[in-house]
Amino acid sequence: MASTRRRLGPLVSGRRSKWVVLVFWLVVLVVAFPLSAKLTDAQENDTASWLPGSAESTRVFEVQQDAFQTGEELPAIVVYERTDGITPEDQEKAAADARAFADVENVSGDVVGPIPSEDGEALQVIVPVDPGDGGWFALGDAVDEMNDIVSGGPDGLDAYVAGPAGVSADFADAFEGIDGTLLYAAMAVVIVILLFSYRSPALWIIPVFSAFTALTAAQAVVYLLAEYADVTVNGQTAGILLVLVFGASTDYALLLIARYREELRRHEDRHEAMAFALHRAGPAIVASAATVAVGMLCLLAAEMNSTRGMGPVLAIGVVIGVTAMLTLLPALLVVTGRWVFWPLKPKYGSAEPTERGFWARIGRSIAHRPRTVWIGTSLALGAMAFGLLGLNTGVIANKDAFVDRPASITGEEALARHFPAGTGSPVIVIADTPAADDVRQAFGDTDGIAEVTDPVPLGDLVYMEGTLEAAPDSPAAQDTVEAVRDGVHAVPDANALVGGNTAVALDAQNAAARDSIVIMPLVLAAVFVILMILLRAFVAPLVLIATVVLSFAAALGLSSLIFEQLLGFAGADAAFPLFVFVFLVALGIDYNIFLMTRVHEEAKQHGTRRGALIGLAATGGVITSAGLVLAGTFAVLATLPVVAFAEIGIAVALGVLLDTLIVRSILVTALNLDLGRFMWWPSELSRRPEPPASEVAREPGEVVEEPRPVR
């Protein structure tokens, strides 16, 4: 141990090397800061960055790009509504607006309209918008200018910018400034929890600064990869990167600080105390980070481009975060010394307070009837999981995708009242030219298609559009797309492809279902291997994974009830279960690793059952604080006005709290006490005899950690 300590300690916390480490990270921060600020500009929020790579709608999009040169064009549909009938003055206003729309930046092609509705109460103008390289944010600028144009109409005339471009612009507004919003909210949560945990007016600065430095470095690296290595980064990935890196890095900081404070009571020299802390807490922190990173890399097996691109980005963020917490953080702590813990400075030779604390008492109470406790806890979590039966996953309709009610959604509803529901979001069919008539016939004969345009030839291909009778974001529209595909695919030698917004949503839903089936077992297998290597056992990894999966099911079930009964959400995105699973399994297993590595360490000297109580007493407080930090940082996602983000934030935060407060502290401890040494089968530790659980429930003064000799 001493030789290992001598090798590791001076690298980051030696009397001279700590200054080298600090200078290195300050240089990194100076270089990385301007690069990290460019990450927003490097995001790809176009259609291709979200589509499933091999789906039919993706191939249609690629053909449009290559053969028809249509770019990223989306129609904005401006709808004018007067419930007592459109007047000639309204007609003049709409016609004048249509002429003005043609001069709006990013408007491409001809502006169509105004087109009157059959009931005489509405007009619509169709404006093609091509955002080009600007993505969503260029759409937002164009729609804002169009809103300025339509304002100031005759009294009683309502006007809205709706359609795919209008809705996309509102999504862009929701994501604009996301990095700043999430960062400030996450920092506020972390600072409050650290102040409450340590009761020190200064200590919180060190982990927050270290986490901020790690986040800045991670964003800079991801920007370089997005710009020069063709890694796909979109708004969703960038937002989750910020929350994950800041939250996980702070977690690792809390765990190292807790062990460092413990070692300061045993070692007078703070450099030596940090060396011991790194040696004893470092492997668990590295294993936890490796588990999260490997879990994120499993997302590379996804079909969805947005999901697949998220994997390496988040893995890189976690690796940079743990690197900063094992280098920069120790250097800062030894530079500042013991005073940074004021007013509760750990004095050399003082008793460790956790030995008589809250978690020590919890452990002793569990030890009286561990089997009853773990069975009862499992049943309670299982009851929460029944909420899964009511979880509605699929494509969220536009009107249900926002927490608030943007103008584009009001416009969509006005459009649906007076025009065919599918107006502005057609089904697209591309086929070989010789089969154009047969394909058009099959397309037009499909139930749910109101009308089909004449085929537009270009080389060997033809392009046609069909108007849906149902709303394009509805299940009925998806059924129509499937029927269209069945019809046109049956035309001989047509090589027909069906795309459009509804087809994209359908393919995304199918790809998300496939990704869940493939990635979930992959994540579990990867985590199981890491746990076996770390704990040198077979039974313990199985037990830990089972508890985390149970925690995931309970969190998802409870979240479903919250979404439906309290928040009134209509459903969840198709990829929602997969994201929550990956985050909760990878992050939830972290806390089990922190606990079980300490139990494993203590079991070598005290036996598994006594070691379980010592491990819980020593890690309970810090793991609870870490769980609150991570739950709080993910919960800030709920501050965004997008339902998908709010649901991920709520579900992950809830799952982390369940895992921290119930699964890790009660369920895993009870299983340790009941199974005892058999947790470590087939290692040598599983063959050591030990007393039954009832005999280890001692009085507070008897549950002490015996001093360990330095070898």
What the chain holds in terms of domains, given with CATH numbers, is: 1-42+199-352 (1.20.1640.10), 73-171 (3.30.70.1440), 407-507 (3.30.70.120)
Confidence band (pLDDT; 50, 70, 90) for 348? low
Specify the amino acid at residue 350: S
Q: Look at strands 393-394 and 572-573 and give their pairing.
A: parallel
How, if at all, do strands 393-394 and 158-162 pair? unpaired
Q: Which of 36-50, 174-188, 259-273, 347-361 has the highest mean pLDDT?
A: 259-273
Say if CB 238 and CB 178 are below 8 A apart: yes
Q: What's the mean pLDDT when you consider all of the chain?
A: 80
219-237 residue pLDDT tens: 898 888 887 877 777 777 7
Which span out of 75-79, 304-308, 455-459, 640-644 was modeled with the highest average pLDDT?
A: 75-79
pLDDT of residue 45: 57
With a cut of 60, say whether residue 510 has pLDDT above it.
Answer: yes
CB atoms within 10 A of CB 217: 26
State residue 321's pLDDT score.
92
In this prediction, residue 213 carries a pLDDT of: 92
- Choose from 191-200, 373-382, 561-570 the range with maximum mean pLDDT: 373-382
Q: Under DSSP, is residue 466 helix (H, G, I), strand (E, B) or coil?
A: strand
| Calpha distance 136→149 (Å, rounded) | 20
User: What average pLDDT does this structure show over 33-43?
Assistant: 79
Per DSSP, helices labelled H in 349-406 are: 358-368, 370-385
CA distance 533 to 540: 11
pLDDT classification of 113: cutoffs 50, 70, 90: confident
Q: Are 220 and 32 in contact (CB under 8 A)?
A: yes
516-524 long-range contacts, Cβ below 8 Å, gap at least 24?
516/577, 516/578, 516/581, 518/301, 518/302, 519/298, 519/299, 519/301, 519/302, 519/578, 519/582, 520/578, 520/581, 522/298, 522/301, 523/295, 523/298, 523/581, 523/582, 523/585, 523/586, 524/549, 524/585
CB atoms within 10 A of CB 280: 19
Average pLDDT over residues 371-380: 92
Indicate if the alpha-carbon torsion angle 533, 536, 538, 540 is positive or negative. negative
Q: Does the pLDDT of residue 153 top 80, yes or no?
A: no
In tens, the pLDDT along 271-319 reads: 888 888 888 888 888 888 888 888 888 888 887 777 787 888 899 999 9
The pLDDT assigned to 320 comes to: 93
Distance CA 214, CA 394 (A): 35
Q: Does residue 1 register a pLDDT over 50?
A: no
Percentage of the chain exceeding pLDDT 90: 7
pLDDT band at 53 (very low <50, low <70, confident <90, very high): low
pLDDT digits (tens, 9 = 90+) for 484-505: 898 888 888 888 888 888 888 8
Q: Which two tokens stand for residue 451?
A: 């009308």
pLDDT bin (cut points 50, 70, 90) of residue 354 is: low
- CA–CA gap between residue 86 and residue 156 (Å, rounded): 10
Q: Residue 679 above 80 pLDDT?
A: yes
Map residue 423 onto helix, strand or coil. Answer: coil
What pLDDT shows up at residue 376?
A: 93
Q: Is the pLDDT score of 531 beyond 80? A: yes
Question: Which pLDDT belongs to residue 324?
Answer: 92
| pTM as predicted | 0.78
Contact residues for 160 (Cβ-Cβ < 8 A; gap 6+)? 78, 79, 81, 150, 166, 407, 408, 410, 411, 414
Count of beta carbons in the 10 Å neighbourhood of residue 84: 8
Provide the pLDDT for residue 8. 54
Q: Which of 164-173, 330-339, 396-405, 488-497 has the lowest mean pLDDT?
A: 396-405
Q: Are 278 and 10 in contact (CB under 8 A)?
A: no
Backbone angles phi, psi at 681, to 5 degrees: -60, 135
**Is residue 706 pLDDT above 60, yes or no?**
no
Q: Please give the order of strands across the beta sheet that includes 74-81.
A: 112-116, 122-129, 74-81, 158-162
Q: What is the pLDDT of residues 684-699, one digit of tens each?
A: 887 777 766 666 665 5
Whether residue 80 contacts residue 90, with contact meaning beta carbons closer than 8 Å, is answered with yes
Quick check: 649 and 239 in contact, CB under 8 A? no
Looking at residue 704, its pLDDT comes to 42
Alpha-carbon span 562 to 685, nearest angstrom: 44
Of 266-275, 350-359, 363-372, 568-577, the poorest mean pLDDT is in 350-359
Token duo for residue 594: 């922190």
Residues 6+ apart with CB under 8 A from 567: 646
In terms of DSSP H, where are the helices of 199-327?
205-228, 235-264, 270-297, 305-325
**How many whole angstroms separate alpha carbon 199 and alpha carbon 213?**
23
387-397 per-position pLDDT tens digit: 888 777 766 66
Task: Kindly indicate the confidence band of residue 51, based on its pLDDT and cuts at 50, 70 and 90.
Answer: low
Whether residue 6 is predicted with pLDDT greater than 50 in this model: the reply is no
| Cα(483)–Cα(249) distance, integer angstroms | 49
Mean pLDDT is lowest, of 420-424, 552-556, 672-676, for 420-424
Going by C-alpha positions, the residue among 321, 330, 198, 333 that lies closest to residue 621 is 198
